Amino acid sequence: MFDLITQSTERPLRERSLPSKIVAIVVHTTIIAALLVIPLLRVADQLPAVVPTVMAFVAPAPVATPPPPPPPPAPAVARQAAPVRTASPDAAPVEAPAQIAPEPPASHTADAAGVLGGVEGGVPGGVVGGVLGGLVTSAAPPPPPPPPPPPVARGPVRIGGQIKSPALVKRVEPVYPEVAAVAQLSGIVILEATVNTDGCVEAVKVLRSRHPLLDKASEEALMQWRYSPLVLNGIQTPFVLTVTFTFSVK
């Protein structure tokens, strides 16, 4: 293309002469060195004038914990004084006596009552001065047995099961009221009777009512009944039983 513009076919730079090669190497080396050195110079210009001093923090050493106080001394135990042993007058002497005296004669004229262990007036078979351990006598009679405890009051028991109703001594039938007969009232009245220890009915309770007239007639008749006393374990006991009356118009 350059050949067409310049209209010349000479190419001096393409000649491979030694000086041209040396010049090319020097030029390339200079350009590369400039490209490397100029950025370094710019960076060196931006360095701080004074390098700050590095600050170091040193923590103080921990304070050692003081040792615990020594334990208090143990209380001194008071020493008990050794008991002083006194010599018994009946003990045998340790040292030999200076002289041996004869024993005094025993007095038999003393009263038996004044001798230790004696009984005033003496006892059959006894000796003067008493007998060691005493004489064997007959044993004292045993004390009388305690009285039996008083009977404990018990509540009324209900007739039924193993407890049988005592014999009925007196029975009274209820009177049919005339007003109830005219009104033709009929039915069954069930009562509960409480009998005391003597066998007398002391309280009546209506369990099943038919009419007030019939209930009243039944209560009046049942209050007149009498039973034999109920005895349990030898004790007369009150009891409760059920009685039924039937009213019918004839």
Mean pLDDT is lowest, of 61-70, 106-115, 157-166, for 106-115
What local confidence, expressed as pLDDT, does residue 73 receive? 79
Q: Output the pTM of the full model.
A: 0.40
What local confidence, expressed as pLDDT, does residue 229 receive? 92
Does residue 209 fall inside a structural domain? yes
Does residue 173 fall inside a structural domain? yes
Does residue 226 fall inside a structural domain? yes
pLDDT digits (tens, 9 = 90+) for 78-110: 666 666 666 666 677 677 777 777 777 765 444
Does residue 92 fall inside a structural domain? no
Asked if 25 and 31 count as a contact pair (C-beta separation under 8 A), the reply is no
| Domain assignment of residue 223, given as a range | 157-247
Nearest to 172 by CA among 131, 95, 224, 216: 224
What local confidence, expressed as pLDDT, does residue 42 receive? 66
Q: How many domains does the chain have?
A: 1
What local confidence, expressed as pLDDT, does residue 204 receive? 94
Does residue 84 fall inside a structural domain? no
Does residue 111 fall inside a structural domain? no
Question: In percent, how much of the chain has pLDDT > 90?
Answer: 24
Does residue 238 fall inside a structural domain? yes
Q: Is the pLDDT of residue 115 over 50?
A: no
Does residue 18 fall inside a structural domain? no
Indicate which CATH number applies to the domain containing 166: 3.30.2420.10
